[in-house]
Chains A and B, each alone.
Chain A
Amino acid sequence: MLPHLDDAWRLARWLARVDHDAEDVLQEAMLRAYRYYDVGGRDNVRAWLLAIVRNTFYTLRTEGPVASLVDEFDEDVHATNDANSPEHQMLRDADAQQVRAAIERLPVAFREVLVLRELQGFSYKEIVEITGLKTGTVMSRLARARERLARDLGVGAEGGSHHAMQ
């Protein structure tokens, strides 16, 4: 599992957002992984390890459970816009720092599926395996994550910041 240490770190960092917390998550997750490594055959060690990272994150963090976060964010995001709108232009111009900031503003339930898919390249099936969510839930969270991201990047960093306050 050590070849996947970098992936584990990235996920821990995207989830925790603070390096110090991410280090604790990674440390704890690797210890857990080593304890259970011998148990049972698994064909996707990378997905298995990231599942442990994710679970460790939710165990260690002191905030409430994920479920409470999700339902609050079901709002209209399908504002109509035309193809040459300033919003589309901002999307075309978005740089890595803006993308990072926008991803970090996503609620964690959306952030995790987006990061697993977009930054770590997992298939839907693997994301189901890692998160234990249903395929339909993965798809809808991914859709909402991207809708929020597109909107957030589309209105620029200043306009986007207040989404985090919702």
Chain B
Amino acid sequence: MQCSDSRLLIHAYLDNELGAGDSVRLNRHIADCADCARELERQSLLQDALRRARPTLATSDALPGALRARILASLPLSESTSAAMAPLALRPRPSLHRRQPLTFAIAASALLLLGGGFGVAWERHASTVSATEGNAMIAEVVSDHVRSLQPQHLTDVLTSDQHTVKPWFDGKLDFSPQVRDLDAAGFVLVGGRLDVLHGRRVAAIVYRRRLHPINLFQFVAAGPNTTPTSNDAGDGYTTTSWTQDGIAYWAVSTLDRGEMETFAGAFRTSPSLSVPR
């Protein structure tokens, strides 16, 4: 083996990418060649230095929350809307830095107006969803979900940070909605909004898995805890509902039952965020 080959293979060797035959030949060469032996040692010292630096570099290179939110905001919300959003991709420098806060401001002010109106008409329904209500509820959850996917409708408060989403609801509802970090389970928090479901004012917490937005509606329910029940609501939509600690949860998305139940399971077992109201 030539030194020039050895200098290349040393790296594959350190990366565990070298075949057995080449490893043997490299070792034989290194036993005879002091220069290559030193190079191997130098490269393994470098590898150690990189290994030591890696955790620090990974931490300082973490994606900032604000940027994550901005990226999520700019993405098409579903397969069907992605075609309509396509021209955006051709803009050379997206003007999102300016556009997002404006959009947010408009959404927020519209919400203030809406919130005032609903506040007057608001009447508390503290009952659970009865069996006969079930089918109507499924249909309404799906239609709310579809409506929410219209541009700019998905979230009023847009952030991947649960500590921002939760306080946003303060004073807007008669209960404190549950916002939980499900990153580890592969469900990314996108944001939240106020919505009306079956005559109730509800919280909608929005998560995303791959391309699929998930709306998780929450409202007060007086009843025992129930385990998640899933329904195929037609047109590829799945709803999963359960009750936990006095809150009824209705999740809806185009994910299949299996993934919806994974979502429900992850949500139910994640610790709730405690923020003093």
A55 to B214, CA, bound (A): 31
- Chain A, residues 120-135, CB within 8 Å of chain B (1/0): the string is 0001100000000000
Q: Contacts of B52 on A, CB cut-off 8 Å?
A: 94-96
Is the pair B46, A2 in contact by a Cβ cutoff of 8 Å?
no
B17 touches A123 (CB 8 A): yes
A window 55-88: CB within 8 A of B: 60, 78, 80-83, 87-88
Contacting residues, chain A, for B113 (C-beta < 8 A) = none
Interface centre among B50, B56, B70, B82 (most CB of A within 10 A): B50
Contact call B71/A30, Cβ cutoff below 8 A: yes
Q: Which residues of B contact A94 (CB under 8 A)?
A: 49, 52-53
**Contact B45–A91 (Cβ < 8 Å):** yes
B46-87 vs A, CB cutoff 8 Å, 1 = contact: the mask equals: 101110111011100111000110111011100100100110
Instruction: Answer yes or no: A150 CB below 8 A from chain B CBs.
Output: yes
- CA distance in complex: A35, B83 (Å): 8
In the bound complex, do residue A26 and residue B67 qualify as a contact, i.e. CB atoms below 8 Å apart?
A: yes
Task: Tell whether, in the assembled complex, residue B62 and residue A6 are in contact, meaning their CB atoms are under 8 Å apart.
Answer: yes
Answer whether residue A164 sits at the interface, using C-beta atoms and an 8 A cutoff: no
Partner of A5, one of B15, B63, B85, B92: B63
Taking a contact as CB atoms under 8 Å apart, the answer to whether A38 and B79 are in contact is: yes
Contacts of B7 in A (CB 8 A): 78, 143, 147
**Shortest Cβ distance from B139 into chain A, in angstroms?**
28
Binds A, one of B33-41, B192-200, B231-239: B33-41
A-B contact count (CB 8 A): 127
| Contact between A119 and B57, CB atoms less than 8 A apart | yes
Closest CB-CB distance, B135 to chain A, in whole Å? Answer: 32
Interface mask (B2-42 → A, CB under 8 Å = 1, otherwise 0): 01000110111001010000000000000000010011011
Contacts of B71 in A (CB 8 A): 5, 26-27, 30
Interface of A is mostly: helix
Chain B interface residue count, CB cutoff 8 Å, equals 52
Residue A48, interface by CB 8 Å? no
- In the complex, how many residues of chain A place their beta carbon closer than 8 angstroms to a beta carbon of chain B? 51
Q: Is the interface of B mostly helix, strand, loop or mixed?
A: helix
Which listed residue, B17, B56, B61, B85, touches A9 by the CB 8 Å rule?
Answer: B61
- Which of B56, B67, B86, B188 is close to A35, meaning CB atoms less than 8 Å apart? B86
A1-B79 Cα distance, complex, nearest whole Å: 14
Q: Do residues B8 and A140 form an inter-chain contact, with CB atoms below 8 A?
A: yes
Instruction: Name the one of A26, A78, A92, A147 contacting B35, with C-beta atoms under 8 angstroms.
Output: A78
A2 touches B89 (CB 8 A): no
The distance in angstroms between the C-alpha atoms of A146 and B186, with both chains bound, is: 35
Interface residues of B (CB under 8 A from A): 3, 7-8, 10-12, 15, 17, 35, 38-39, 41-43, 45-46, 48-50, 52-54, 56-58, 61-63, 67-68, 70-72, 74-76, 79, 82, 85-86, 88-89, 92-94, 96, 186, 188, 208-211
**6 closest residue pairs by CB, A with B:** A96-B56, A99-B53, A96-B53, A31-B89, A91-B45, A9-B63
A: residues with CB less than 8 A from B are 1-3, 5-6, 9-10, 13-14, 23-24, 26-28, 30-32, 34-35, 37-38, 60, 78, 80-83, 87-88, 91-92, 94-96, 99-100, 117-119, 123-124, 139-140, 142-143, 146-147, 149-150, 153-154
